[in-house]
Amino acid sequence: MVLSRHLDERVWLLNRQGKAAIAASAQGHEAAQLACIEATDPSKDHYLIYYRQFAAMMALGTEPEEMLRGFLAKTDDPMSGARQFPLHGAHPRVDLFNFSNVIATQLPQAAGVALADKLKGSDAVTVVFFGDGASSQGDTHEAMNFAGIHKLPVIFFCENNRYAISVPLEKQMGVESVASRAVGYGFPGVQVDGTDVGAVYEVTNVAIERARAGDGPTLIEASVERLLPHTTDDDHTRYRSSEDIVQMLNRDPIRILAELLKRRGQLTDSGDEEIHALAKKRVNLATDTVDAEPYPSVESMFDHVIDSSGGHS
C-alpha cells in the first residue's frame, strides 16, 4: 500500500518533469483495491481493470519497474509494449487486462470471460473494476443484466469516488448508491467503506465464495476518495470546494490504516517511518533503472496487428 502510494506520487513527479505523458492516480483508492485483490486467487481469477487500478496491479505482484515502463512508455512495458496508455494491455503473469480507454466496455467483456469459465466448468471468478461514472453507461446495464440471467461468476467492483472527472454523483445518478441497482439484476449489491481494508476484504470474500459456488454475481460499491485530480491533466480546484478537499484528506486510507495499527499496537512510529523509507528507496531504484531504458523501435509498431501467420485453430 505504501509502496503503491510512493510510486504513484513518483509518477506524478515524472509527469511534471515531462517524462510521463499522463497519469491517473489510485491515491485514496488503495485500501479498496488491495483488500479486494487479497480476497481473490491470482492463480486462476481474472481481473478486468480500467486506468485507476494502480494499487490493484501492485497487489498482484507487478514490480515498480514494470509499472514505470508503462508510464514512461519504454520498450519493455509488459502490458502493451508502450502502445497504450499506462495500465492498458494485458499483464504478463496474471490474467489482468484492460483493452481500451473507452469507459465501461470492460463490463460486458467481463461477463463474457465469466461465461467462458462457466461453460468450461472452471471455478475461476472474474473481477471487473469500474467507476461511478462508468455505472451510467449502457454497457454496464447490459453486462449486469446478462450476468444476472446466467448467474455468472463475476464481481462488479465499483470504486465510487463521487466524481467522474468533475461531474459529481448527484449529476450522475438519481439514486443514493450504485449498489442499490443490483436489485434490478437479481443479485446482491453491497456498499462498503473503501478505506477499510478489513471491511472490503470481508465483502469481497463473500462475493468470491458466492461466485465460486455458482450462485452468481455480486455488485460491490466501495466508497473511496480520489485524493488527486482526475489525471495529471486536471485541476480539481476548479470544481471541488476547499471544504470538500479538506474533508476528503481525512479519508486517506493509508493514514487510516496506519492509525488503526498504531492504536492496536501493531505498528510503531519508527516502524511506519521505516516502511516509508524502504518504499522510497525502492521507488528511487526503479526510477533510475527505467529512466535509462530505451523507447520501442519504430519497426515494432507494425507487429501484432493481426495474426501474421494466418494461423488457424
Partner 1 sequence: MTERTVIEAVRATIQAEMRRDSSVIVLGEDVGIRGGVFLATDGLIDEFGEDRVIDTPLAESSICGIALGAAVNGMRPIAEIQFADFVWPAINQLVGEASKVRYGTNGVKTAPMTVRVPYGGGVRGGLYHSQSIEVLFAHTPGLSVVAPATPFDAKGLLATAIRTNDPVIFLEHKRTYRLVKGDVPDADYTIPIGKAEIKRPGTDLTIIAYGLMLHYALQAADMAAANGISVEVLDLRTLRPLDEDAIVESVSRTGKALIVQEDTLSVSISSEVAAIIGERCFFDLDGPITRLGPPEIPPMPFSPIQEAAFMPSPDKILAAITKLAEI
In angstroms, what is the minimal distance from the CB of 24 to ligand TPP?
Answer: 7
- Rounded CA separation 179/192 (Å): 10
* Residue 99 interacting partner from ligand TPP, partner 1, none (CB closer than 5 to 8 Å by kind): partner 1
**Radius of gyration of the chain measured on its C-alpha atoms:** 19
Residue numbers 129-148 binding ligand TPP by CB under 6 A: 131-134
Number of residues that bind ligand TPP (CB under 6 A): 15
Interface pick for partner 1 out of 16, 18, 119, 299 (rule CB under 8 A) = 119
Query: What separation in angstroms does the CA of 297 have from each of 3, 68, 70?
Result: 31, 18, 15
- Rounded CA separation 307/313 (Å): 12
For 304, the 3-state DSSP assignment is: coil
Burial (CB count <10 Å: 0-12, 13-18, 19+), residue 59: buried
In angstroms, what is the minimal distance from the CB of 182 to ligand TPP?
Answer: 17
The contact mask relative to ligand TPP for 105-124 (x = CB under 6 A, - = no) is --------------------
- List CB contacts of 59: < 8 A, sequence separation 6 or more: 4, 33, 34, 37, 38
How many residues in the chain?
A: 313
In angstroms, what is the minimal distance from the CB of 37 to partner 1?
Answer: 19
Q: Is 100 in the site for ligand TPP (CB under 6 A)?
A: no
Question: How far is CA 34 from its chain centroid?
Answer: 9
Interface pick for ligand TPP out of 21, 165, 260, 267 (rule CB under 6 A) = 165
Residues belonging to the active site? 226, 230, 239
Q: Which residues pair with 163 in a beta bridge?
A: 168
Interface pick for ligand TPP out of 53, 161, 223, 287 (rule CB under 6 A) = 161
Q: Is 173 in the site for ligand TPP (CB under 6 A)?
A: no
**Which residue ranges make up the site for ligand TPP (CB under 6 A)?**
52, 101-103, 131-134, 159, 161, 163-165, 226, 230
